[in-house]
Structures are given as C-alpha cells and as structure tokens.
Amino acid sequence: MKIILVSYAFPPVGGAGVQRAVKLVKYLPEHGVEPVVLTAANPSVPVTDDSLVGDVPEGTRIARARTFEPGYRLKKVAWDARVEKRRTLAARARSLATTVAKEALLPDPQILWVPAASLALARLLVADRPRAVLITGPPFSSFLLAQIAELSPRTRVVLDYRDEWTAYRPTENGNGANFEMVPTFGRRATHALERRLLQKADAVVTATEAFRQNLIGTFPFLNLKHTFAIPNGYDPDDMPTELPSPPSDKLVLAYAGTVFRLTSPRGLLNAVRRVHEREPKLAQRLEVRFFGRIVDTELPAFEGMEGLGVKRLGYVEHARVLPELASAHVVLCLLDAVAGAERVYPAKIFELMALGRPVLTLAPEGALTELVRAHALGDVIAPRDEQAIAAHLERLLRAHADGTLRLQASPQGIGRFHRREIAREFASVLRD
C-alpha cells in the first residue's frame, strides 16, 4: 500500500521531532506500506544531523518543496531584538515586525511552506494515487494539507499529533507558551482552524493516551474508533553494542534534548547548588552534562554553574549522543511543572529506557511518571522539589564514593516500544 508521509522536518534536519517520521519511513515497508515523503527543501531549523540520513532506506522517494520562510539565523536576529535590554530604534523596529509577523502567521510561521507543499502534494496525488496521506505535526500548519489530500476521493487522511496543538503552542525559538497566553483573536482562530481540519481527517493519532483523551474532550465530535494513541519508541539499531564504563572519579548525570520552558532544569540546577553548599567535598565528584540546544530564556539558569560541574556541550548528532549518554552513571528525563506537562512524555524517554542506564525523572505526576514507574526505569521526583532532588543527588554521590552505585537498569516490558512495533501500529491504522 502506497502512502504519502508529510513531515516539514526530515533528515538531514536534526532534533527529536524528526525521529518519528524517519523511523516510520525505515520500518513501514516491513509491514507492506510504501511511504513517499513530502518535506521542506529549505527548512528554517536550528540544527542539522547527517547521521539520521542513514535511517532512510535506499530508494525512498522524497519530494522537497521550498518554504518562503526566512533562514533560521535571520529569525534568531529578530527574536533577539525582542529581548534586548537596551532597545535601540532598529531593535524596536525589528521587535515590532516580529510581533506583527508572529500574530499574522497563524498557526505558525511554517504556514509559508504550505503554498509550495500544496502544489507538490497535488502532483504526488495524481502521480502516485496513494491510499492515504499521513501528516505529522508540529508544525501544525502542515495539517492544512489535509484540504488538498481530501480532493482525491480514494485517499484517506491521517493526522499525527507528536505534540498537542491548542493546549500548548510552541514558539519558533524552541521556547513554549501555553495556548491560553496567545491573544484572544489568535486563540479563537487557531481553535477554529484545528476543529475544521480534524473534521476533514479520517483518523487521528496522538503520541500519548492522555493526549488522546484531552483531544476527545476538546473536540467531542471525534470518532473514538478512529482516534488512536501510538507512542514514540526506540530503535535497537541506534543503541551502543556495549555500555562503556563511566568514570570512576566523577558521578556523571547526563541529559540530551532541547532545554526550553517545558524541559527547564531550574529545579535540578538549584539542587546542585544546595549540594555544593551542604556537602562541598562530596559535591566535587558531581558532573552534570547537557547535550542539546538551550534556548535563550533558559540560559540565565545556567549562570555560574560551570564551576559547580554543570557542562553545556551543545547539540550532538544522534549517532554520537547515545554513546555519550551510555557513558553516564545516570541519565535524566526532564519535564517542568507547567500546564499540560502531565499529558506529555518526551520522545527521548524511550531511548533512555532501552539504553540500560538508571533514569532519574524530574517531572510532575502524569503520563511520564506513570510510564517510568510501569516499566521500572528509575526514580521519580517532582521537578521543583529542590530539597528532595538535592537529597537524592547526595545519596547517589555517597553510593558512587563507596562503590555501591547501581549502574544498570532492569526495564520491564519495553518491547512494545520498538520502532518496528510502532510502525506496525501505524500500518494497522492506515489499513483500517
């Protein structure tokens, strides 16, 4: 069965959001589904990762349509103008232009990709006569392509939510804003747009069951039998064949992923400060490594932390970051206490569960903490409980010092999250 998979970001674009699409392209053919990819030719994105290209099977057809967005560097200049402390006349003009553009380009700036993507999709519908078009978001402007897909009578439309839309609206620089913070006009217009596009979908997929329940509660017209929860997962091919030995002189905790409002480590960083104040000699053994982009709004939380063993190592390509995580004693999964976080689990948690290291999860009670406990991945602490986090770090440090620290986790029942199994579930939805 031939389908068209629409994903704005696709290798060599990097980042966690690309994984879902590229692993579907890798494994769907094993389940009798041939995907043709429609993606952006010049995506305005912060990172690229050539290592992800290796997951794309040889011979996969990829159609690339150009977006009219400015390059990412130019967008960053505009965002920086909005937060400059000393606002020059030029900075104020850039800030005003950015604000106007942000409110005009609903639901997101990637709507500037939709015109060319619509033409490309129309050509693919005629040439390939696919049985289904699977559109994954964010960006949610890609869902507008459902209106093009429905013009083909034999083609079904499946919308895949990697994140929530009207409950949580990501901003262009990776930071996040609750949907309720969007101006009233934008909130109403976006909600109405989401409703209209959902009505055009033949099936809807969400990344968590909590997402699914929230979406059904928000849009009661959804057909329960055609609304599915299919999680992200892990690919054993990505895992190191052997776990390297962590350093003996340092207790290393490692985090991989973008640090933004939803994944803010402020509680952890303050806990590290507490450990240094209370147990300065013991704290010298602690090293916390952050792999990934840290957005500007979270940088102040890291000020002065280098001297306390906190290292910012920047974005590391996917092929290298998993061995780096495996070199730690404990891996971190972070969700801050913000509205909607109880319905979220970061895609990285599935790779952490397969990696074999104990996971320290700092998150509010909800979908993520339930997942961690159900599969015995490690310890769970509230993200802003600095006292409890500091006490836990001290216990880890003492266990490391006396040689009793547990280095390997014993996750339970994780086979359901193999990317091959995830692709099988998607194939079943597409066939239905």
Quick one: 230 and 341 in the same domain? no
Q: Check whether residue 320 and residue 341 sit in a common domain.
A: yes
Same domain, yes or no: 99 and 158: yes
* Residue type (1 letter), 233: G
CA nearest neighbour of 173 among 261, 52, 87: 261
Please indicate, yes or no, whether residues 156 and 259 belong to a single structural domain of this protein.
Answer: no
97 and 128 assigned to the same domain? yes
Is the whole model's pTM more than 0.85, yes or no?
A: yes
In a domain? residue 380: yes
* pLDDT at residue 390, rounded to an integer: 98
| CA angle, residues 261, 263, 266, in degrees to nearest 5 | 80
Specify whether 55 is located in the same domain as 165. yes
Q: Compute the average pLDDT of residues 362-384.
A: 96
pLDDT tens figures, 3-53:
999 999 999 998 878 999 999 999 999 999 999 999 999 999 888 899 999
Selection from 319, 261, 264 nearest residue 290 by Cα: 264
Q: What is the pLDDT of residues 353-363, one digit of tens each?
A: 999 899 999 99
Cα–Cα dist 321/266, whole Å: 22
* Residues 118, 240 share a domain: no
DSSP string computed for 11-59: TTB-SHHHHHHHHHHHHGGGGT-EEEEEEESS---S-B-GGGGGGSPTT
The range of the structural domain enclosing residue 114 comes to 2-234+419-431
- The Cα 123–Cα 84 span in angstroms is 45
User: What pLDDT score does 146 carry?
Assistant: 97
- Half-sphere exposure in the Cβ direction for 331 (13 Å, CA): 27
Q: Give the phi and the psi of residue 385 in degrees, each rounded to 5.
A: -85, 80
Do residue 183 and residue 255 come from a single domain? no
Same domain, 270 and 331: yes
Strand-pairing partners, residue 48, are: 13
Q: Is 409 a member of any domain? A: no
Looking at the fold, whether 215 and 254 belong to one and the same domain comes out as: no
Q: How far apart are CA 405 and CA 402, in angstroms?
A: 8
Q: Contact, 15 vs 317, CB < 8 A?
A: no
State residue 216's pLDDT score.
94
Confidence of residue 405 (pLDDT cuts 50, 70, 90): very high
Average pLDDT, rounded, for the chain: 89
Helix (H, G, I), strand (E, B) or coil at 392: helix
Q: What angle do CA 17, 20, 25 make, to 5 degrees?
A: 130
> In DSSP terms, which residues pair with 311 in a beta bridge?
289
* Within a domain: 408: no
- The count of other CB atoms within 10 Å of the CB of residue 250 is 16
Q: Tell whether 135 and 57 lie within a shared domain.
A: yes
Read off the CATH number of the domain in which 367 is found.
3.40.50.2000
Q: Are residues 336 and 425 in the same domain?
A: no
For helices 89-104 and 72-83, the axis angle rounded to 10 degrees is: 120
